[in-house]
Amino acid sequence: MGCGAAGTSSKRVCSDAQRYVQRELAGAPKRAVIACEGACIKGEVARSAANLLAYRLERDRAVRICLGDAATADSGMLALVERAPEVIAVEGCPLHCGTAILHTRVPGLATTIIDASRLFEYDRSRYFEVLDMPRAELDAHAAEVAEQIRREHFAR
Ligand code: SF4
């Protein structure tokens, strides 16, 4: 069993997320990367780009945040956000849902918002659902977006 309410407490904790958080808290603070996690092509590209950025391209300087946990649960993701020198929000579109969701728990928290939909092109009349687009194409767009974010926000 990995996740659930802890004992009789109302706290919601995912033990896998908690392990990741504890490992990260043992080191120096890193930039926190959230994504809107939307269910359409744009959300999927944002989510995948955030993963590439934090888990591969800038692993030493960025930590990946489970948005749902940071906004609603108690596994420690919020602590990673609160100690981060910068919170980078990779948003799928101008609605900026990732930031809006985080603000339900931490009103006014400053995020560096990146609208990923401005960083790649695709045929919007043809695609909406994530599974409509071949995975290789999604991954290529995510790589393109992640590289641009890296160049513009991690060069310093
Ligand atoms: S920001 Fe746009 S793509 Fe992301 S969850 Fe919100 S509506 Fe969907």
Q: How many CB atoms lie within 10 A of CB 38?
A: 20
Q: Kindly state the DSSP code that residue 107 receives in the 8-state scheme.
A: T
- Given a contact cutoff of 8 angstroms between Cβ atoms, the answer to whether 101 and 92 are in contact is no
Could you read off the pLDDT of 78-106 as tens digits, one per residue? 999 999 999 999 999 999 999 999 999 99
Q: Determine the atom of ligand 1 nearest the C-alpha atom of 35.
A: 4
Q: Does 91 contact ligand 1 (Cβ within 6 A)?
A: yes
**Mean pLDDT across 50-58:** 98
- pTM reported for the whole predicted model: 0.94
**Sorting pLDDT into bands at 50, 70 and 90, what band is 2?**
low
How far, in Å, from the CA of 11 to the mean position of ligand 1? 28
Residue ranges of domains in the chain = 11-153
How far, in Å, from the CA of 42 to the mean position of ligand 1? 7
Using CA atoms, how far apart are residues 26 and 57, in angstroms rounded to an integer?
Answer: 21
In this predicted structure, what is the pLDDT of residue 156?
Answer: 72
Strands 12-14 and 3-5, sheet pairing: antiparallel
End-to-end CA distance of the chain: 42
How far, in Å, from the CA of 133 to the mean position of ligand 1? 17
Using CA atoms, how far apart are residues 132 and 11, in angstroms rounded to an integer?
Answer: 38
Residue nearest (by alpha carbon) to ligand 1 atom 7 = 95
